[in-house]
Amino acid sequence: MRQIFLDTETTGLAAEQGDRIIEIGCIEMVDRRFTEGPGSRFHHYVNPQRSSHPDAVRVHGITDEFLADKPLFADIAKDLLAFVKDAEIVIHNAAFDLGFLDAELARLGLPPMRRHVAKVTDSLLMAREIFPGKSNSLDALCKRLEVDNSGRDLHGALLDAGLLAEVYIRLTRGQDALVVESHDEAGVRIDLPQVDLAAFQLPVLAAAAEELQAHEAALVDLDKACGGKSIWRPAAVA
C-alpha cells in the first residue's frame, strides 16, 4: 500500500478569501515503511503572489522576500499530481489543506485533489476517535506518542509531514499487531509460508463453579442497574 503524508504552509487561514500555499511537503511510505531515494519526497516552496499575514509568518517563519524567486504553484502542479497519483493521502486536519490545494487546482482549471488520489485519510479525525476530549494537535500527539519533535521550533511542511508519518504509525500500530514481520533486516520483503490453522486443536477450558457464581452475581447486578431490562440473560439462555 502506497501512502503519501502531506502538509502545507500558507499565507493565512482562509483559502476562500485568497490566501495561498507557500510550501508543500510530501513523504512516501510503502507497506508502512519510508521509501528512500530521490522519488521518495516532494518538497517545494511556492511564490503565492501575495503577502503572508504577520501571524502566519510567526508560525512558519517564511518571509515574502524568501518566496519572491520561488516557482508558482502552476509550475509545480503537474509534478505534485504525478507524485500523489492513486496513493492514499494522509493529512492532519485534511479539510484545511484540501481547501487550499483545491483552490490552487481550481485556478488552473484542474479537478480537486480527491479526484487524483485513491483515498484521503484525516489523521486528526483518527486521533479524536482514539483520544476523545484531549488535545490532538500534531505537537500534542508527538508528546503523547513519544515522537521526537524537538527540532520543530517553527512549522515546516516537509518536517511536519515526517512527524505526521511517525505519529500515524503509532496511532495505527495495533492494526497489524497479529501480522508476522515480513521483511528481513535489510528491509527486503520476504515470502512467509502459509500455515493451515485448521491443523491446530485448541483446548476448551470450562468455567469453574466459583467463576459461574461470580458471573451470575454480575448478571444480577446488571439487572438491578438497568431496571430489569438487561439483555444478557435472554442472550445467554438462547
Q: Which residues are catalytic?
A: 155
Task: Tell me the pairing of strands 41-45 and 33-34.
Answer: unpaired
Task: Tell me the pairing of strands 41-45 and 21-30.
Answer: antiparallel
Distance between CA atoms of 93 and 121, rounded to whole angstroms?
9
Distance between CA atoms of 37 and 82, rounded to whole angstroms?
16
3-state secondary structure of 181: coil
Alpha helix (H) ranges present in 24-179? 54-60, 64-67, 73-84, 94-107, 123-130, 138-144, 157-171
Q: Classify residue 115 by its DSSP letter.
A: G
Can you tell me which residue has the cell 504577520?
54
Instruction: Find the angle CA(65)-CA(69)-CA(72) to the nearest 5 degrees.
Output: 115
Minimal CA–CA distance to 45: which of 84, 8, 98?
Answer: 8
Output the nine-digit C-alpha cell for 43.
Answer: 518538497
How many other C-beta atoms are found inside a 10 Å radius of the C-beta of residue 208?
Answer: 9
